[in-house]
Amino acid sequence: MNQSENYLHEFFRIFFANRQLIKRVFLLFAVLTLLIPVFAKQTFEITAEVLVQSKKLPQVDASGGALAPLNDVFVPLTLIDMETESNILRSPALIRRTVEQLYAEGFWQAEETFLQRMITTPLRIHVIDPLREHVIYPARELLGLEVKPVRDTTLDALTLQILEDLEIQTIPGSNVISVVYTAKDPAQGTLLTNRLLDTYLVHRHDLQSNDLPEGFYEQKKAQYQERLNTLEQQRLSLLGGAKAANPDEEITFHLNAINQEEQALNQYRDRELEGRRWLEYLHNSLEVARNAKLNDYSFPYTFSSTLENTTYDDREIRQLGDRLIEQVSQYGLESDIFQADSAPMQTLRAQIQRTRQQFLRVVGNRISEREKSQEIIAGVIAQKSARIDEYKERIRQLQGIQSTLRQLNTETEALHQAFFAYTQRFEESRSSDLLGALSNARILSRPIEPTTASFPVPSKVIPLGLLTGLLLAIALGYIREFFDHRFKHPAQISQQLGLPVLMTIDADNPDLANPHKTGSLPWIRHWATN
């Protein structure tokens, strides 16, 4: 029956068996850990954050003259949008532009290490350049090939270096992009990060906006003015040819005039119809009166007129009618006394005849006046009908002009809107204050120059280094024990060979005590080496 193995006993056995190796490896890592905060070059982390908001799409009223804005439409962000913004921030072209500006202003210089100064520069100066100058370039010229000058790669090296030290990523679950730049000089790194964010906003504005050059704007302005002048001349010539100032008001005026004229025309037509009927009646009555007997009474119509509820009689007809009635009455009375052929009766008949003829002539004159009045009314009706026809013809002419003017106004309005759009885009591209308003990206937090280094941090480096050294030393002890196949204790003989152990002789040399004073430098040296 196998006995259960004591792992803790085995661990301590291996640990104390290889304690010298474990101690030396641990001490080596401890020394390196203590030297890292002293000799390692400090680096500083400059952080910034960019906020990407929902994309705003401004809506405009195309039918309005002033292009009055409606409610804006916001499009929510997607993961593709956030990844696009991150790619714009980390693009080499954007970083190179930023470095080029700083390099031209003298704020950024290329950093060369000791190895580069000792190897790369002399090699480039003393080997590569003479080789190109005296061998490669003459050979290429001899073969007729193009000889390219040596290009300065300083900006390329700086760009690659910044790309390695720059970390840009989207914070999970948010619309914020984190920018972290690791720099050896905090002031220089802060300046680079700030300038990178400014260049990003400008570059993003260039990508999303259509900047119009001033020459293009002036050209559009001249075309707009020329076309507008042409449309205005067409408008003026059209109104001048029609002799109209405002067709809408004139159409309204003519419609009101037509309404009034038609009302008056209807009244005159009613009067004309009424007068015609009265004339027929008067002609018939006159014909009957002319064929009447001597002793018949007078005309059945009095020719009276009513004005404002007041009746006015024709005095002449009234007098002649009364005289005729009186004479006819007297003739009737005298006929009872005198004979028909007597002188008084003849005289009365002669008087009645004269009075009747006079009465009939006056009635005929009044009928003639009525006929003239009817002719006048017919003339007025014809005149008003012709005037209404003129008004209608004028309205049709103005409506045609109005249709043409609407087309001109529509074209003018479209021209105004197009020029307003050009002007707005030109002003937006020319105004630097609107740079933030045109973009949905905002700088959430600007970088601040750090006061403490991000690496090395002694409070983190030393504990982690000591722990790592201890674990590595123990692992090396186990590895040494794994490859050491010698017998370390009697139990291994029984396990490996199956033979009993009769006797064990301890041949190890006893450990010598440290002869030096505890805590002194010789004591530490003796402890570290033994």
**Of 161, 184, 208, which closes a domain?**
208
217 assigned to some structural domain? no
Domain containing residue 273: 241-430
Output 504 or 115, whichever has higher pLDDT: 504
Average pLDDT, integer, range 238-243 = 82
Could you report how far apart the first and last alpha carbons of the chain are, in Å? 41
Q: Which amino acid is at 125?
A: I
Average pLDDT, integer, range 507-519 = 64
* One domain, residues 185 and 98: yes
- The pLDDT confidence band at residue 376, using thresholds 50, 70 and 90, is very high
pLDDT exceeds cutoff 80 at 445: yes
* One domain, residues 291 and 261: yes
* One domain, residues 369 and 316: yes
* One domain, residues 29 and 82: no
* One domain, residues 175 and 80: yes
446 assigned to some structural domain? no
279 assigned to some structural domain? yes
Please state the three-class secondary structure of 256-275 as a single string: HHHHHHHHHHHHHHHHHHHH
Which of the residue ranges 30-39, 77-86, 489-498 would you say has the lowest mean pLDDT? 489-498
* One domain, residues 1 and 72: no
Q: What whole-number distance in Å separates Cα of residue 222 and Cα of residue 57? A: 30
**Of 208, 233, 261, which closes a domain?**
208
Q: What whole-number distance in Å separates Cα of residue 442 and Cα of residue 197? A: 10
- The pLDDT confidence band at residue 109, using thresholds 50, 70 and 90, is low
pLDDT exceeds cutoff 90 at 386: yes
**Of 360, 395, 430, which closes a domain?**
430
Average pLDDT, integer, range 57-82 = 59
Average pLDDT, integer, range 344-367 = 85
* Most confident residue range from 30-34, 169-173, 348-352: 169-173
Residue 502: burial class (beta carbons within 10 Å; 0-12, 13-18, 19+): exposed
* One domain, residues 100 and 191: yes
Average pLDDT, integer, range 87-103 = 88
pLDDT for the residue numbered 129: 55
139 assigned to some structural domain? yes
The radius of gyration of the chain's CA atoms, rounded to the nearest angstrom, is 62
454 assigned to some structural domain? no
Average pLDDT, integer, range 389-413 = 87
Strand (E) positions, 156-236?
166-170, 176-183
pLDDT in tens, 301-326: 777 777 667 767 778 878 888 888 88
* One domain, residues 189 and 270: no
Q: What whole-number distance in Å separates Cα of residue 328 and Cα of residue 314? A: 21
Output 121 or 209, whichever has higher pLDDT: 209
* Summary mean pLDDT of the chain: 78
195 assigned to some structural domain? yes
Please state the three-class secondary structure of 171-190 as a single string: CCCCCEEEEEEEECCHHHHH
Under a CB-based contact definition with an 8 Å cutoff, are residues 208 and 439 in contact? Answer: yes
pLDDT exceeds cutoff 80 at 518: no
* One domain, residues 31 and 105: no
Q: Output the CA–CA distances (angstroms, integers) from residue 331 to 215, 317, 349, 352, 390, in the order listed.
A: 115, 20, 7, 8, 62
Q: Count structural domains, the chain.
A: 4
pLDDT exceeds cutoff 50 at 128: no
pLDDT for the residue numbered 267: 92
pLDDT in tens, 244-296: 778 888 888 989 999 999 999 999 999 899 888 988 988 888 888 888 777 67
* One domain, residues 347 and 479: no
Which of the residue ranges 174-178, 194-198, 300-304, 341-345 would you say has the lowest mean pLDDT? 300-304
Under a CB-based contact definition with an 8 Å cutoff, are residues 89 and 167 in contact? Answer: no
* One domain, residues 395 and 480: no
439 assigned to some structural domain? no
225 assigned to some structural domain? no
Q: Output the CA–CA distances (angstroms, integers) from residue 421 to 57, 165, 228, 431, 437, in the order listed.
A: 15, 44, 16, 15, 17
Q: Output the CA–CA distances (angstroms, integers) from residue 167 to 154, 162, 189, 308, 310, in the order listed.
A: 22, 9, 13, 104, 109
- Return the DSSP state at 500: -
* One domain, residues 361 and 383: yes
CA torsion 35-36-41-47 (nearest 10°) is -150
pLDDT exceeds cutoff 80 at 521: no
Which of the residue ranges 23-32, 120-129, 182-191, 518-527 would you say has the lowest mean pLDDT? 120-129
Q: What percentage of the chain reaches a pLDDT higher than 70? A: 77
